[in-house]
Amino acid sequence: MFTKDRKYRSYDVVVGMDRGGQRAHLKNLGLLTEDMKKPFIGIVNTYNEMHPGHFHLNEIVKHVRDGVWAAGGVPFEFGTISICDGFAQANLGMCYALPSREVIADSIEVMTEGHRYDGLVLVGGCDKIVPAFLMAIARLDLPAIVVTGGPMLPGRYKGKDYATYELKEAAGKVQRGIMSEKELEEMEGCLSPTAGSCSMMGTANSMSVVAEALGLTMPGCATAHAVEGIKRRIAKASGYKIVELVNRGFRPSSILTRETFFDAIKVAMAVGGSTNTVLHIPAIAHEVGIKITPEDFERLSSCTPYLVKIKPSGQHTLKDFEDAGGVPAVMRELGDLIDVSRMTVSGLTVGEITAEAKNKNSEVIRTITNAYSNQGSLAVLKGNLASKGAVVKQTAVHPTMLKHRGPARVFNSEDEAVIAISGGKINQGDVIVIRYEGPIGGPGMREMLTATSYLVGMDLANVGLVTDGRFSGATRGPVIGHVSPEAAIGGIIGLVEEGDEILIDIPQRRLELLVSDEELERRQKSWKAEEPKIKKGYLQRYMHWVTSADDGAFLKSE
């Protein structure tokens, strides 16, 4: 027997005459009495057989476990869910994608508190999983390190690099008759070549960048590819480091300050980060009592240079980005825009990390003096159509479409819009409006990737799109999402009628429905909410508790 002479939470389980049953269970699992004096480390493994970003994670976790044992801790692996947004696209599954973020965060909290782990290593990747990890870390405020699963290698087809989102654009080309179905099938066999998150600056890799910028991963983790040896070494180092963090009494709240979140936003804007960062970063900050608003994104993006242009915004790949120096090199280039005194889980300050970083390719990671733009990737638009804001990836919009005025083509779901686009019923100059796809109306705020990809594939470059839904990080073009308030709660987007003129003015940050106030008032009086699309299960509960997109679409606590 041993006494509770050290401050490990896990001693709640193993110390005391009345804990004999717990110790018996642990001995049954193979632990020695001496092991029970060591810190217990929970390892979150989001391995999933139907997920290219996660089916390699058992191997990654093995290296984490090795690191924990080597450092004098005891690893305990447990799993949680991980939806692949790729499979959820264009079907009911996408309604569950964003809501899965809350389930993942909650499940980690439940296991960690129930088993009294002393620290966590969270292993996973992709769109909602990394944000959920960060929410759980912020909420629990226990020693924790994230090991992101890493991007897949880029797909190669006919000698060029591609990412999976380009298959949807290719489908539009087949519709137009400029690509054959056989070529499309050949392309399918090439564009998802290895394990890992999709090889583009979509939400998955944007949030991996954010995790590293927040200081919650080991340096270089975000861009270390899934199949590379460096990912295994980072995994083992993370397992080793977490035991040190537990023994030091590290708390994530010590580094997750408002300024840290601001720095992470700047890094995301510098690399062309996804519009979904505007949902996820506020939700993470909320867990530590910090409010991050769309206005913060607008302010920070407007003063952050755009340095890295990766697919879908440019032609460089995540592998190019890694080879050029990754996140540390970007933070070095940002210089005084980043607080270099901040500490990270690695035990190094940001300044110590960036001092060792090198920009190995100044065309992939540009300098501030040679930036693609003096503004970052995102812009927040406001106007009568979005009084609480809407978001656009301005760096992925052709200059000729930064300002556009056109007639509204109104659809109450993405499915209706896709039928119209693929059926040739949308004209150049139109502004597609897709509504009742917000957090409540969706429910679950589906991605509109199928619609936006068809616009590209059908060569409808002069068509705008406005929605209270959201977009994949793979989206490009004059497409505006997160319109708030959403249609389901009486937002003006629910009052738009076919043929109404809509003004999109990205430089002036305006999104206007060009209809008189008197006419809008008349329409408001006759407006009725749509019947809920889902009337049972998790989504029925979710729609009653979820906050607006401009808040981060997290679940209210009361």
Identify which of 213, 230, 201 has the alpha carbon closest to the alpha carbon of residue 327: 213
Q: At which of 356, 387, 405 does a domain end?
A: 356
pLDDT, tens only, 536-552? 999 999 999 999 999 99
Per-residue pLDDT, 454 = 85
Residue 365 is assigned to a structural domain of this protein:
no
Give a yes or no: residue 116 inside a domain: yes
Least confident of 108-112, 167-171, 185-189, 279-283: 167-171
Phi, psi of 307 (to 5 degrees): -110, -25
Tell me which residue range forms the domain holding 529: 378-551
Task: Name, in order, each residue with C-beta under 8 angstroms of 91's C-beta and a sequence gap of 6 or more.
Answer: none
Residue 118 counted as domain residue: yes
Domain count, the chain: 3
72 and 153, same domain (yes or no): yes
Q: Characterize 312-340 residue by residue with b for buried, 16 or more Cβ atoms within 10 angstroms of its Cβ, and e for exposed.
A: bbbebbbbbbbebbbbbbbbbbbeebbeb
Q: Report the pLDDT value the prediction gives residue 457, as an integer from 0 to 100.
A: 83
Q: What's the CA gap between 40 and 505, in Å, rounded? A: 54
Establish if 373 belongs to a structural domain: no
Tell me: is residue 128 an annotated ligand-binding position.
Answer: yes
The SS3 of residue 514 is coil
386: helix, strand or coil: strand
Is residue 498 marked as binding? no
The first and second tokens of residue 426, run together, are 């949308």
- Average confidence (pLDDT) over 191-205: 94
pLDDT over threshold 90, residue 474: no
Any known ligand binding at 62? no
Phi/psi at 159 (5° precision): 80, 5
Nearest-angstrom CA–CA distance, 118 and 97: 30
Residue 325: DSSP 8-state: T
Bridge partners (DSSP) of residue 161 are 156
Going by C-alpha positions, the residue among 452, 455, 527 that lies closest to residue 497 is 527
CA atoms within 13 A on the CB side of 495: 24
Report if residue 368 sits inside a domain.
Answer: no
pLDDT on residue 165:
84
**Residue 433: partners with Cβ closer than 8 Å, 6 or more residues away:** 408, 409, 410, 411, 465, 466, 467, 493, 496, 502
Is residue 15 located within the same domain as residue 162?
no
Of 326, 356, 386, which residue is a domain's last?
Answer: 356
Q: Using alpha carbons only, how large is the chain's radius of gyration in Å?
A: 24
Cβ count near 66 (within 10 Å): 16
Q: Are residues 274 and 401 in the same domain?
A: no
**208 and 351 co-located in one domain:** yes
| 367 is a domain residue | no
Confidence of residue 476 (pLDDT cuts 50, 70, 90): confident
Shared-domain flag, residues 44 and 24: no
Among residues 258, 254, 263, 393, which one has the least CA distance to residue 327?
263
Residue at 525 is within a domain: yes
- Residue in the structure block whose two tokens are 């990766």: 310
* pTM score, whole prediction: 0.95
Q: Are residues 321 and 212 in the same domain?
A: yes
Residues 390 and 294 in one domain: no
> Do 312 and 406 share a domain, yes or no?
no
Q: Is the pLDDT of residue 4 over 60?
A: no
Return the active site residues.
472
Q: Is residue 171 very low, low, confident or very high in pLDDT (cuts 50, 70, 90)? A: confident
Same domain, 470 and 486: yes
Averaged pLDDT for residues 407-424:
95
295 annotated to bind ligand: no
Rounded Cα–Cα distance for residues 307 and 305 (Å): 6
Question: Could you tell me if 30 and 48 lie in one domain?
Answer: no
189: confidence class by pLDDT, cuts 50, 70, 90: very high
Whether 435 is in a domain gets the answer yes
